[in-house]
Structure 1
C-alpha cells in the first residue's frame, strides 16, 4: 500500500489504539520516549497477531495533520534505525520509515514490526505496552504470553505412542497413495515399491514409523478417533432452507481424507442460469466452482484449532450460499493481507498437518488459494467470498448466484478492474461501509457516484445498462439549463439575492458534489452569466443586464 494511502487509512480509522499512535512532534521529540513507543507498539502488535504497528509524527490526536520538522535531513532520519536498534532487545529496527508530503505538512510514518514470537521487545532493559492510548509497563502476564509462544507445540505433530498401523484405514491409505502420486508424479514409479510404513514416512504422515495425530486425523479408522481426545475430528454437513430451518444433516469423522471427499459429494452443486442479457453472461454455470469448495473445506481442516474441541461445519443454504466454519483464530490477521501478499504464510497452527495435506494434494503451498477463490468468483460475476473472523472462529461464506445485477454487469463490462477495486465494489454491493479514502478512490475512477452512505452506480456502467434514466438524475442538468433557471428567477421577480439562487439550485445539483463544491458551482454560474453580459450585480442582488 502506498504511504499516502496508508496515512489516509490511519486518519480514517477509529483513532489511537494499542497499535496506532499519533504525535504532533513539530520540531524535536524525546528520543527516549520514541523508544518506549517502539517497545510498546511492537509488543502490542505481537499480542494482537498483527505484523506491525504505527507511530505517526505530524498529526494531532484529533487526526488533524499539522506537519513535523523532526529530523528533516534524510541522513539523520535513516540513522534513527541504528540508534533505536542499539537500545532495543534483538536490535529491533524499523521495517520502513515512510515520508508523506501531505497538503498540510510533512508526515512521518514509522512502521514498527511486531515483536518476534517468544521474544518481547524491551527499551533500555524495560518492557513497555499500551492500555488503550496510555503508555506504560508491559504487564507480567503479557510478557509471559509472548514468551510462551516459543514453547508452543505443534498439536498435529504429536505422536500417539501406543497407536499402530492397525489404527489406520486401508481404504484411506490407498487413496492417499493415489493423491501422493498425483502431487509427485516423478515418484509414482518408486511409490509402488514402498510398503505402508515407508510411504507414510515419505508422505510425512508418520515420524520414523510412529503414528502421529495427523495420521489418525487424515487416515485413521473411525474407532481410532479416541487418540485425538479432546479434539473432535468431525465435519458436519447441514442443509437449511430459505428460512434457515434445518432440512437434512450428516456427520463425517475419521478418516478425514475420505470424509472431506464425501462432504464434497454431499453438497448439491446445482446449475445457475443467468438472466438473458445480450452476450454479457454465460448461459449457465455450476453454483459453486469445485476448486472453491475444496479450498474452503480443506483450509478449515488444515487450520482448525483442534485443542478447542470444536469441529468443521459446512452449512448449505437453499438460497445459494455455502458457509464453512472452524474453531481457531485467523493467524494471518486479515484476508486483505493474505490477498495482497499472495505468498505462503510464514506461520501455521498445524505445520505437520499442513505439510501432510500438501503431499496428499489437498492444499497447496504457494499461498494463492484464497486469492484464487476471489478471482474465480469475480470471473463468474458472483459476490466475493465473505470472511467473518471472530477471536476463536473463522467463517467463510460462498455465494453461488448473482445478488446484484448491476454489480455483475459492472464486472462483465469492465473486465480489467483490479482485484482491490472489485473488493471495494463488492462492499458497495453488500451495502457495507467504505472509508472516505476508499470512496474517493472509486469515485476518481468513475466507478461510483453519490454521497456516503448512499453510493450508486457510476456513469461508466450506467451508459451501458438499464440505469440510464437514474444516472441522468444523479448526474444533474447541464450548465446552460442551470443558467436558464437563474435567468427565469431574476426575470420573474426583477432581482434575486444569492440566498434565493442557492435555494433554487443547491438541492438539485448532483449529490456527487460536496456542499462547498455546490456553493462554488453556483458562484461560477453567476460569474459566467456576468461575463457574458446577461446579468449584473447591484449591491448584494442580481438583475438582468441593461446593456
Structure 2
C-alpha cells in the first residue's frame, strides 16, 4: 500500500466529514463552480484549524464513506488542467497542491489536496469567500474572515527591535531627508520638528520604538555597513535594463538606506518623451513615458509589502516600452480590482510598522490610494492599464510606457464618463484577456463589447464613435443565409465543390476573432445543416468529399 492509498484509508475511517475533508460521489461529472467553492471553503477551514491542507474526495459516498467510483475527467491531462482552471478564479492564483488518482477494487477515487489559505489571506473563488458550516457549504462569515486576516497583525517582522543596533547605525543623510519629508507630510508640525533631536524625531515618525532601533529603521535609514543586522534577509533593490530581445544591457544593486535608494533607482530609469501621432486636438504632442509618481509609488509599494523572510531582492526591470516591479510575498488584499473599487485603506498589512513609517515619511500613500492613482495616470494619458500578476507568491506589476492601440486610446478620449472599473475591463478586452461571466454581462449590457467568449471585440456603438468600423465589420459574422448562398452559387457555377473549395470560399469571410479550429467547425456545421435540409449531398467520401446539389 503506497502513501496515497494509506491516506485514502485514513480518510475513509473518519466517522464523519469535518471542516477539512469533503466526500462527493461525482459518479459521472461535477459542476466546476461548486468544485471551486469547496476549494475556497476547505482552504479557509484548513487555515483556521491549523492544518497544512484539506481534502476533497470524489468517488466516495458522503454518508457511509463507501467507494462507488467516479468517471470525472477520466483522461489524466484533463484532470491536471483543473489546476490552471481553478487558479484563474482564486485569490492570488492559489490552486491544488496535487491531484491523486487511486484505482481501488471498488472503483476509481480522486483526491484533491487543497492548501491551507496563507496567513492573513482568506481565499475566494470568483470573488466570494466560502467555508464549512458543519458539513454544509456556506459563505465565510465576518468572524472567520477577521480571524484569518488578524494573523498578519500578530507577526510583524518589520517591528522587531534589534538590541545590538543603536542610532549610530543610521545614516545622517537619510535622517535629514526623513525630516524633510515628515515636515512636508505634516506641515503643521514643521516648526516643532526642528526642535526635536534625532531620537525624539524617529520616535515621533514611528520609525523607532522608545528610542530602540527596529528593522524598519534599518531598512529605511540604516547605513550600508549596518545591513548585517538584517541577515539573512537580502534587503536590496536590483535595477536591470533589457533590450528588445530581453538581453541584459546594464544593472545595478542598491542597498539600505532605502529612503535614498528609491531616488537612485528612479534616476536610473530613462523616462524619455513619448510622442503621440497627431490626431486633431485629442492628444498632446508628447508626454514622458511614465508618470514620475507611478515609478516612485511602485518602488515604495515593493518596499512596504516585500516578505523579507523569503530572503529575496526587490526587482525593477526597465524594458523598451514598459517597467516591471516585483516583490516577494502574496498580495494581502486578494485582488487589485477590490483595492481600486473599494477605494479605502487596507486594514491589514504584512509589514504594518514599516508601512506606517513610510506613510509618515511621505514615501507611500495609504494602501489602495496609491494604486488607484497609478491607474488614473495611465488613463489620463490613454495608455494601457497596469498589469498585476499575483501568482507564485509574489507581486509583479507591469506599467506600459506607450499606447498599445490607438483606437482604444480614442475610446478613452471620447468616453470621459466611463468608470475606472469599466476601463479596466475594456483594457482586458484590448489585451485579449479572459472576462468572467459578470464582467462580460456588464460590458454587454452597456453595449461596449460584442462577440462570443473568449473572443470579444469593441461594440458597434463604440466602434462608430472611435473609428473602429472596419475592425468591427471584420469581427462581425454575416448571417447564415449569406454563407449558404455563397456555397449554393459556387456549386451552381462549378457543379461540385470539395471541402478544400468550400474552405477557400468562406475562410476569409468568417470573423477575424475565430481561430482556424473554430472556422473549421463553423464550416462543418454549415455543410451539415445544408445536407440535413436536403439542399446538397456528398457524392465522395468522408475524407475526400464532393458536394453537389441533391
Q: TM-score, normalised by structure 2?
A: 0.65
Which residue is 1:173 aligned to?
175
- CA displacement 1:487-507 (0-9 Å, x = unmatched): x99xx99xxxxxxxxxx99x9
Which residue is 1:18 aligned to?
39
- Kindly indicate whether the alpha-carbon contact (under 8 Å) linking 1:45 and 1:115 is maintained by their aligned counterparts in 2: no
Determine the C-alpha separation between the residues in 2 that align with 1:430 and 1:511: 16
Q: Cα offset for 1:409?
A: 1.6
Q: Choose which of 273, 279, 282 in structure 2 pairs with 1:280.
A: 282
- CA displacement 1:338-389 (0-9 Å, x = unmatched): 1222111111111111111011000122632112211211121111111111
Within-5 A mapping of 1:370-519: 370-472=371-473, 474=475
Determine the C-alpha separation between the residues in 1 that align with 2:511 and 2:223: 67
1:205 maps onto 2:207 in alignment: yes
3-state SS, counterpart of residue 355 of structure 1: helix
- CA displacement 1:11-37 (0-9 Å, x = unmatched): 86874542269xxxxxxxx9xxxxxxx
3-state SS, counterpart of residue 326 of structure 2: strand
3-state SS, counterpart of residue 162 of structure 2: coil
- CA displacement 1:101-128 (0-9 Å, x = unmatched): xxxxxxxx953237648968xxxxxxxx
Which residue is 1:49 aligned to?
121
**C-alpha distance 161-459 of structure 1, shift in aligned 2 (>3 A):** same
- CA displacement 1:463-505 (0-9 Å, x = unmatched): 23443234345557799x97xx79x99xx99xxxxxxxxxx99
Which residue is 1:113 aligned to?
141
3-state SS, counterpart of residue 277 of structure 1: coil
- Kindly indicate whether the alpha-carbon contact (under 8 Å) linking 2:120 and 2:332 is maintained by their aligned counterparts in 1: no
Determine the C-alpha separation between the residues in 1 that align with 2:34 and 2:342: 22
Q: Cα offset for 1:426?
A: 1.1
Determine the C-alpha separation between the residues in 1 that align with 2:299 and 2:34: 33
- Kindly indicate whether the alpha-carbon contact (under 8 Å) linking 1:53 and 1:113 is maintained by their aligned counterparts in 2: no
- Kindly indicate whether the alpha-carbon contact (under 8 Å) linking 1:44 and 1:114 is maintained by their aligned counterparts in 2: no
Determine the C-alpha separation between the residues in 1 that align with 2:509 and 2:263: 59
Q: Cα offset for 1:53?
A: 6.9
Determine the C-alpha separation between the residues in 2 that align with 1:329 and 1:16: 21
1:266 maps onto 2:287 in alignment: no
1:186 maps onto 2:172 in alignment: no
Which residue is 1:331 aligned to?
332
**C-alpha distance 236-474 of structure 1, shift in aligned 2 (>3 A):** closer
Determine the C-alpha separation between the residues in 2 that align with 1:180 and 1:471: 53
Determine the C-alpha separation between the residues in 2 that align with 1:467 and 1:232: 50
Determine the C-alpha separation between the residues in 2 that align with 1:46 and 1:326: 17
Q: Cα offset for 1:307?
A: 1.0
- CA displacement 1:227-263 (0-9 Å, x = unmatched): 1111112111111111111111111111110011111
**C-alpha distance 53-455 of structure 1, shift in aligned 2 (>3 A):** closer
**C-alpha distance 286-473 of structure 1, shift in aligned 2 (>3 A):** closer
3-state SS, counterpart of residue 176 of structure 1: helix
Q: Cα offset for 1:181?
A: 0.1
**C-alpha distance 455-206 of structure 1, shift in aligned 2 (>3 A):** same
Within-5 A mapping of 1:217-366: 217-317=219-319, 319-365=320-366
Determine the C-alpha separation between the residues in 1 that align with 2:161 and 2:188: 29
Q: Cα offset for 1:189?
A: 0.6
- Kindly indicate whether the alpha-carbon contact (under 8 Å) linking 1:203 and 1:356 is maintained by their aligned counterparts in 2: yes
- CA displacement 1:154-200 (0-9 Å, x = unmatched): 11111111211111111011000000000111110101110011111
3-state SS, counterpart of residue 160 of structure 1: coil
How many residues align? The count is: 417
**C-alpha distance 390-472 of structure 1, shift in aligned 2 (>3 A):** closer
Determine the C-alpha separation between the residues in 2 that align with 1:466 and 1:391: 40
**C-alpha distance 239-160 of structure 1, shift in aligned 2 (>3 A):** same
**C-alpha distance 473-210 of structure 1, shift in aligned 2 (>3 A):** closer
Determine the C-alpha separation between the residues in 2 that align with 1:344 and 1:55: 19
- Kindly indicate whether the alpha-carbon contact (under 8 Å) linking 2:234 and 2:311 is maintained by their aligned counterparts in 1: yes
Determine the C-alpha separation between the residues in 2 that align with 1:154 and 1:440: 41
Determine the C-alpha separation between the residues in 1 that align with 2:363 and 2:153: 29
Determine the C-alpha separation between the residues in 2 that align with 1:370 and 1:407: 22
**C-alpha distance 473-152 of structure 1, shift in aligned 2 (>3 A):** closer
- CA displacement 1:503-543 (0-9 Å, x = unmatched): x99x989899xxxxx9xxxxxxxxxxxxxxxxxxxx999xx
**C-alpha distance 473-177 of structure 1, shift in aligned 2 (>3 A):** closer
What is the RMSD of the two structures over their aligned residues, measured on CA atoms?
4.6
Determine the C-alpha separation between the residues in 1 that align with 2:152 and 2:401: 42
Q: Cα offset for 1:151?
A: 8.9
Which residue is 2:94 aligned to?
none
3-state SS, counterpart of residue 329 of structure 1: coil
Q: TM-score, normalised by structure 1?
A: 0.65
3-state SS, counterpart of residue 449 of structure 1: strand
